Amino acid sequence: MAIRAIRGATCLTADNSDEMAEAVGELLAAMFDRNSIDHSNIISLFFTGTPDLTCAFPAAGARLHGLPDVPLMCASEMNIVGALERVVRIMAHVETDHSRDEITHVYLRGAEVLRPDLNSGNRGSA
């Protein structure tokens, strides 16, 4: 098995802790489902949030969705003028038999604009 990174991002409509937990859970489920990742193959998760998200840590949402024993880390994105707002990004480090070009990165709830090259059906690293 190889260690691979899976990228994902999602947008929130508001700075709301309930929506944060829901969106993070939805994104993680999609990332793991589309890449056939089992809980035992997750090494760690790294989350970032744009500076306008102050309601909760994205990792708290992951804990609510069944990841109590996976190492999690959160950080703030750079505050870039004109950047997409209310975005949570995830980088999952996993063990998998998939090659790098077989990994499916997942962008939901408006975050698809961050990687249009991946949302046209193409696969690849993010």
What are the chain's domains? 2-116 (3.30.1330.40)
114-to-2, 67, 68 alpha-carbon distances in Å: 27, 26, 29
Residues in the chain: 126
Q: What is the pLDDT of residues 28-71, one digit of tens each?
A: 999 999 999 999 999 999 999 999 999 999 999 888 888 889 99
Q: What pLDDT is attached to residue 122?
A: 40
Q: What is the pLDDT of residues 63-112, one digit of tens each?
A: 888 888 999 999 999 999 999 999 999 999 999 999 999 999 999 998 98
Cα 79 to Cα 1: distance, rounded to the nearest angstrom = 37
